[in-house]
């Protein structure tokens, strides 16, 4: 009974075994990942709509959490982009909640963590960067290229401009890999220690008691993973804010 800690990241069809349809020759399956992304979005929607009642002056627990998440994102945008960044509020709020709920949902056993897939995180990150570039050219025109030109003597620019270009091009990679790697590593670690517990209990005898050690570690790592889940959602959202800020305001390095 070999347990593969990577098996949990396998994207596979559920319910329907045949592709639903195909786009440009690529078959589209209804996968375990699709199911849990739908669950995450549904839970997020219910959390933000059912808890909120207009007739309540003092909010319920759920409502204050919904309001807290709203004001948290609003203040994050205000502090990084200023008040004119608030027109991006629905976008940032969506990114934050999408990543947050997928991260947290993935921590429940037998679920699938959509954000542990590079395809998901890279698509999200690319979407953020493309949005940034489009908004940047719309707001600043060709002045957006000043992003690559820090204020420095011309002979330093020969060195600095390529560095800025490279750092810009690596943004979607760093943004996506940060989230992907964090989720992947955490869940792999949990699976590895869980397999230790199973193997030790299977061995029986004294190993039965020793199994408590990896089990205790799982509890600790699980707590850490909850922190990571929230933190990575925050990091993804605030980096989106910072990038969009460069698009709507002139870069002043």
Partner 1 sequence: MSEPAVTHTGTEAQHSAGFPPFKTESFPSQIFWLVVTFVALFVILWRIAGPRIAGVIGARKGKIADDIAQAEKHKADAEAALAAYESALASARAKAHAEADANRKVLEAETEKAKAAADAEAHAAAAKADAEIAAKRAEAATHVTKAAQDAAAEIVNRLIGVTVPPEEAEAAVKAL
**Residue numbers at the binding site for partner 1 (CB under 8 A):** 1, 3-12, 23, 26-29, 31, 33-34, 37-38, 40-41, 44-45, 48-49, 52-54, 57, 59, 63, 66-67, 70-71, 89-91, 93-94, 97-98, 109-111, 114, 116-120, 123-124, 180, 184, 190-191, 194
- By C-alpha distance, which of 57, 9, 2, 55 is closest to 31? 9
Q: Please, what is the minimum distance in Å from the beta carbon of residue 163 to partner 1?
A: 29
CB of 245 to partner 1, least distance (A): 20
**To the nearest whole angstrom, how small is the minimum distance from the Cβ of residue 17 to partner 1?**
12
SS3 27: strand
Q: Which is nearer to partner 1, 32 or 140 (by Cβ)?
A: 32
Tokens of 78: 């205000």
Nearest approach, Cβ of 98 to partner 1 (angstroms)? Answer: 6
> How far, in Å, CA of 133 to CA of 156, rounded?
25
Closer Cβ to partner 1, 8 or 103, answer by number: 8
Radius of gyration of the chain (CA): 22
Q: Are 76 and 241 in contact (CB under 8 A)?
A: yes
DSSP conformational letter for 204: -
Q: Which is nearer to partner 1, 41 or 235 (CB)?
A: 41
125 with 176: CB under 8 angstroms?
yes
Give the nearest distance from C-beta 28 to partner 1 in angstroms: 5
Q: Are strands 21-23 and 26-28 parallel, antiparallel or unpaired?
A: antiparallel
Asked if 96 and 237 touch (Cβ cutoff 8 Å), the reply is yes
* Residue placing its CB nearer to partner 1 in the complex, 4 or 174: 4
Residue 24 or 206 with smaller CB distance to partner 1: 24
């Amino acid at each position: 009974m070999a347990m593969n800690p990577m098996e949990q990241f396998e994207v596979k069809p559920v319910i329907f075994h045949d592709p639903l349809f195909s786009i440009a020759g690529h078959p589209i399956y209804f996968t375990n990942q699709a199911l849990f992304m739908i669950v995450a979005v549904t839970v997020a929607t219910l959390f933000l709509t059912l808890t909120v009642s207009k007739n309540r002056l003092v909010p319920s627990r759920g409502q204050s959490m919904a309001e807290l998440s709203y004001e948290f994102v609003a203040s994050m945008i205000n502090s990084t982009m200023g008040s004119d960044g608030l027109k991006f509020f629905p976008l940032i709020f969506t990114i934050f909640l999408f990543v947050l709920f997928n991260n947290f949902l993935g921590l429940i056993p037998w679920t699938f963590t959509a954000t542990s897939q590079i395809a998901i995180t890279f698509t999200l990150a690319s979407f953020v960067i493309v949005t940034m570039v489009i908004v940047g050219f719309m707001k600043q025109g060709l002045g957006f290229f000043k992003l690559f030109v820090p204020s420095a003597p011309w002979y330093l620019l020969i060195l600095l401009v390529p560095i800025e270009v490279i750092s810009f091009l690596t943004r979607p990679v760093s943004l996506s890999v940060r989230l992907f790697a964090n989720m992947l590593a955490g869940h792999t670690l949990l699976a590895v220690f869980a397999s230790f517990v199973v193997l030790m209990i299977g061995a029986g005898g004294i190993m039965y008691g020793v199994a408590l050690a990896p089990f205790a570690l799982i509890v600790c790592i699980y707590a850490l993973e909850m922190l990571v889940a929230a933190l990575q959602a925050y990091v993804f959202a605030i980096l989106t804010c910072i990038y969009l800020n460069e698009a709507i305001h002139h870069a002043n390095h």
